[in-house]
C-alpha cells in the first residue's frame, strides 16, 4: 500500500460516512415533496443540517448546502459582491496567496462586473499584513463590497489572525467571507461566537464562511456556505427556491448525511487529533531538516506550545534548492510515497506557486516546493517511510536539476 501524505488535496472517506451515504441512496423521496417519502427525506436532510450546524457553531437555517468548497466560495464572494454593488460598493479586499477558487472568482468579477480588486500583501511567513488591511478599510471612498480571506493557507499552513481581521472589517461596516476549507476539522469553527467576539452585525463583519466535505473524511461534491441570517446575498443559481432562495436545486440528502457524519466525527476528535498531528508534523519537519539540511521550511515555524501554533498541525511544506518539486514528487511516488508540490499545473506545465511568490520567494525557489499533509489515517510509520525515501529522491532530483541547468547554459 502506498503511503498517502496529501490530505490537503483530499482525505479518505470515513467508513461511517460511506455507510450514511449508501443508506440514504437506497431511500426514494425529494425533500421538497409533501408525501411521506418526501417528508422522510426532509427529516434526514434537516437532521444532517442541524448536525453540521452543531459543528460550525451556527443555526441550521444558516447552513446552505452546496456542491463543495469551490461553489461555496463563488456564492459567498459573488453573492456579497453583487449585494454590495447594488448600494454602490465595488471594492474587494483580498490577500495574495488565496486558493484559486477565490483568486479566479475575484478576477472574474474584475473582468466582467466592474469590481476593483485590492490585493493585500503577505509577509514572508504567509501572514496577511494586517496594517495594510486596516489602511485599505479606512481609505476613501468607503465603497468596499467585501473582504474575503483564507483562514489558513492550504499550501504553507499559515493560520491568519481571523478574528482580528473580521473585527477590523466589522468596525468599518464591511461584510466578510472566510474560506474555512483548510481549517474545518482542524480548528474550532464557531460562526456565532466569532460574530459576537468581532462585533459583527447585519452588513458588517462575518457574513459567510465556506467549508468542504472531502477535506474532512466526507465525499467529494458536498460543501456548505454558512450564511448569517441577516446577510444580504444575491444567489448564483436560480430555480425552485430551495434553501432560503439562496441556492436552488433538489437537495442531496445522501451527500448531506455523509458530510454531517464526517463533520461530527472530526469535531469530536479535533482536540486529540490536533495534538497527535502536531507531534507527527514536528517529527516530519525535524526529520527533513536532518536528512536534507539545505531544505527550507515555508510558512511559520511550529510553536513549542501547540495552542499558540500559527501553523496547521497537518501541514509541512519545504523548498528544496536546486531541484524541481515535480521531480521529487515523481521519485517519491515511485518509492511508494504520495505527496504534493502544493500548487496547480497550467495545461500540464508546473507553475511556480503564487503563494510562495507572494511570500517573496524567487521563481527558482518556488519551483523546488513540496507539501506533505497529514490526516486521520497518518501514522509515525508513514512519516518514517517518507523520511526514508527522501534522501535518495533528493539526490536524484538534484542531479536532474543540475543536468537541466547545464544543458540550458549549453544551449545559450
Ligand atoms: C483552501 C481551499 N479552498 C477551497 C477549496 C475548494 O474546495 P472543493 O475541492 O470542495 O471545491 C480547496 C480545495 O482544494 C481548498 O484547499
| Domain endpoint, select from 225, 243, 263 | 263
**How many angstroms does the Cα of residue 51 sit away from the middle of ligand 1?**
22
Residue bearing the CA closest to ligand 1, atom 3: 181
240 and 291 co-located in one domain: no
Q: Which residues contact 407 (CB under 8 A, 6 or more apart)?
A: none
Candidate of 98, 182, 222 to mutate for ligand 1, largest count of ligand atoms within 8 Å of Cβ? 182
Q: Which domain holds residue 72?
A: 15-263
Residue bearing the CA closest to ligand 1, atom 15: 181
298 and 166 co-located in one domain: no
219 and 280 co-located in one domain: no
User: What local confidence, expressed as pLDDT, does residue 303 receive?
Assistant: 80
Of 362, 357, 282, 291, give the one whose Cα is nearest residue 328.
291
DSSP string, 313-366: TTEEEEE-TTS-HHHHHHHHHHTTEE-B-SS-EETTEEPPPHHHHHTT--HHHH
Candidate of 65, 71, 181 to mutate for ligand 1, largest count of ligand atoms within 8 Å of Cβ? 181
CA atoms of 109 and 116, how far apart (whole Å):
8
User: What local confidence, expressed as pLDDT, does residue 409 receive?
Assistant: 75
Q: Which pLDDT tens digits describe the chain residue by residue (412 residues)?
A: 899 999 999 999 999 999 999 999 999 999 999 999 999 999 999 999 999 999 999 999 999 999 999 999 999 999 999 999 999 999 999 999 999 999 999 999 999 999 999 999 999 999 999 999 999 999 999 999 999 999 999 999 999 999 999 999 999 999 999 999 999 999 999 999 999 999 999 999 999 999 999 999 999 999 999 999 999 999 999 999 999 999 999 999 999 999 999 999 999 999 999 999 999 999 999 999 999 999 999 999 998 544 458 999 999 999 999 999 999 999 999 999 999 998 766 556 678 999 999 999 999 999 999 999 999 999 999 999 999 999 999 999 999 888 887 877 776 6
| Domain endpoint, select from 236, 263, 290 | 263
**How many angstroms does the Cα of residue 70 sit away from the middle of ligand 1?**
6
Model pLDDT for residues 314-362, shown as the tens digit of each residue = 999 999 999 999 999 999 999 999 999 987 665 566 789 999 999 999 9
Give the atom of ligand 1 at the shortest distance from the alpha carbon of 153: 1
Q: Which three cell numbers stand for residue 158?
A: 499559515
User: What local confidence, expressed as pLDDT, does residue 348 receive?
Assistant: 64
250 and 293 co-located in one domain: no
**How many angstroms does the Cα of residue 69 sit away from the middle of ligand 1?**
5
155 and 236 co-located in one domain: yes
**How many angstroms does the Cα of residue 212 sit away from the middle of ligand 1?**
7
**How many angstroms does the Cα of residue 224 sit away from the middle of ligand 1?**
12
Q: Is 58 a catalytic residue?
A: no
Catalytic entry in 202, 334, 345, 402: 345
CATH number, residue 401: 3.90.1150.10
CA atoms of 37 and 30, how far apart (whole Å):
7
| Domain endpoint, select from 212, 229, 263 | 263
Give the atom of ligand 1 at the shortest distance from the alpha carbon of 221: 10
84 and 219 co-located in one domain: yes
194 and 53 co-located in one domain: yes
Give the atom of ligand 1 at the shortest distance from the alpha carbon of 68: 10
Q: Which residues contact 244 (CB under 8 A, 6 or more apart)?
A: 61, 64, 227
DSSP string, 24-73: HHT----TT-SSHHHHHHHHHHHHHHHHHHHHHTS-GGGEEEESSHHHHH
Q: Which three cell numbers stand for residue 17?
A: 460516512
User: What local confidence, expressed as pLDDT, does residue 31 receive?
Assistant: 97
368 and 395 co-located in one domain: yes
274 contacts 242 by C-beta, under 8 angstroms? no
Model pLDDT for residues 105-135, shown as the tens digit of each residue = 999 999 999 999 999 999 999 999 999 999 9
Q: How far is CA 107 from CA 122, 127, 156, in A?
A: 18, 21, 23
Give the atom of ligand 1 at the shortest distance from the alpha carbon of 179: 3
210 and 119 co-located in one domain: yes
Residue bearing the CA closest to ligand 1, atom 2: 181
**How many angstroms does the Cα of residue 203 sit away from the middle of ligand 1?**
26
Candidate of 66, 73, 77, 101 to mutate for ligand 1, largest count of ligand atoms within 8 Å of Cβ? 101
CATH number, residue 57: 3.40.640.10
Of 164, 155, 172, give the one whose Cα is nearest residue 130.
164
Residue bearing the CA closest to ligand 1, atom 14: 9
67 and 125 co-located in one domain: yes
242 and 332 co-located in one domain: no
227 contacts 207 by C-beta, under 8 angstroms? yes
**How many angstroms does the Cα of residue 336 sit away from the middle of ligand 1?**
25
218 and 323 co-located in one domain: no
Q: Which three cell numbers stand for residue 200?
A: 459583527
Where does ligand 1 bind, in terms of residues with CB under 6 Å? 68-70, 73, 99, 101, 150, 154, 179, 181-182, 212, 214, 223
Q: How many domains does the chain have?
A: 2
Amino acid at each position: 500500500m502506498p503511503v498517502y501524505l496529501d490530505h490537503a488535496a483530499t482525505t479518505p472517506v470515513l467508513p461511517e460516512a460511506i455507510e450514511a451515504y449508501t443508506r440514504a441512496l437506497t431511500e426514494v423521496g425529494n425533500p421538497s415533496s409533501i408525501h411521506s417519502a418526501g417528508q422522510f427525506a426532509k427529516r434526514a436532510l434537516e437532521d444532517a443540517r442541524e448536525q453540521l450546524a452543531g459543528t460550525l457553531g451556527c443555526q441550521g437555517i444558516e447552513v446552505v448546502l452546496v456542491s463543495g468548497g469551490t461553489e461555496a466560495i463563488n456564492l459567498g464572494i459573488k453573492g456579497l459582491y453583487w449585494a454590495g454593488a447594488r448600494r454602490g460598493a465595488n471594492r474587494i479586499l483580498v490577500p495574495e496567496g488565496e486558493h484559486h477558487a477565490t483568486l479566479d472568482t475575484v478576477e472574474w468579477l474584475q473582468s466582467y462586473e466592474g469590481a476593483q480588486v485590492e490585493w493585500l500583501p503577505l509577509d514572508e511567513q504567509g501572514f496577511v499584513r494586517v496594517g495594510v488591511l486596516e489602511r485599505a478599510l479606512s481609505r476613501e471612498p468607503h465603497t468596499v463590497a467585501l473582504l474575503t480571506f483564507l483562514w489558513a493557507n492550504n499550501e504553507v499552513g499559515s493560520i491568519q489572525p481571523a478574528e482580528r481581521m473580521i473585527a477590523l472589517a466589522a468596525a468599518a461596516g464591511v461584510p466578510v467571507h472566510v474560506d474555512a476549507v483548510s481549517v474545518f476539522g482542524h480548528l474550532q469553527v464557531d460562526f456565532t461566537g466569532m460574530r459576537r467576539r468581532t462585533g459583527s452585525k447585519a452588513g458588517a463583519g462575518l457574513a459567510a464562511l465556506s467549508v468542504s466535505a472531502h477535506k474532512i473524511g466526507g465525499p467529494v461534491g458536498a460543501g456548505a456556505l454558512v450564511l448569517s441570517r441577516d446577510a444580504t446575498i444575491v444567489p448564483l443559481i436560480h430555480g425552485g427556491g430551495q434553501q432560503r432562495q439562496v441556492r436552488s436545486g433538489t437537495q442531496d440528502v445522501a451527500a448531506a448525511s455523509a458530510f454531517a457524519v464526517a463533520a461530527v466525527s472530526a469535531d469530536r476528535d479535533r482536540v486529540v487529533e490536533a495534538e497527535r498531528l502536531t507531534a507527527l508534523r514536528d517529527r516530519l519537519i525535524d526529520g527533513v531538516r536532518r536528512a536534507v539540511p539545505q531544505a527550507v521550511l515555508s510558512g511559520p515555524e511550529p510553536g513549542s506550545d501547540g495552542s499558540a501554533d500559527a501553523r496547521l498541525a497537518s501541514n509541512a511544506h519545504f523548498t528544496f534548492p536546486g531541484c524541481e518539486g515535480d521531480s521529487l514528487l515523481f521519485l517519491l511516488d515511485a518509492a511508494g510515497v504520495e505527496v504534493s508540490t502544493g500548487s496547480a499545473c497550467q495545461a500540464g506545465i508546473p507553475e511556480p506557486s503564487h503563494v510562495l511568490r507572494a511570500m517573496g520567494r524567487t521563481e527558482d525557489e518556488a519551483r523546488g516546493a513540496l507539501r506533505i499533509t497529514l490526516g486521520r489515517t497518518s501514522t509515525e510509520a508513514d512519516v518514517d517511510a517518507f523520511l526514508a525515501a527522501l534522501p535518495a529522491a533528493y539526490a536524484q532530483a538534484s542531479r536532474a536539476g543540475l543536468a537541466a541547468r547545464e544543458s540550458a547554459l549549453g544551449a545559450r
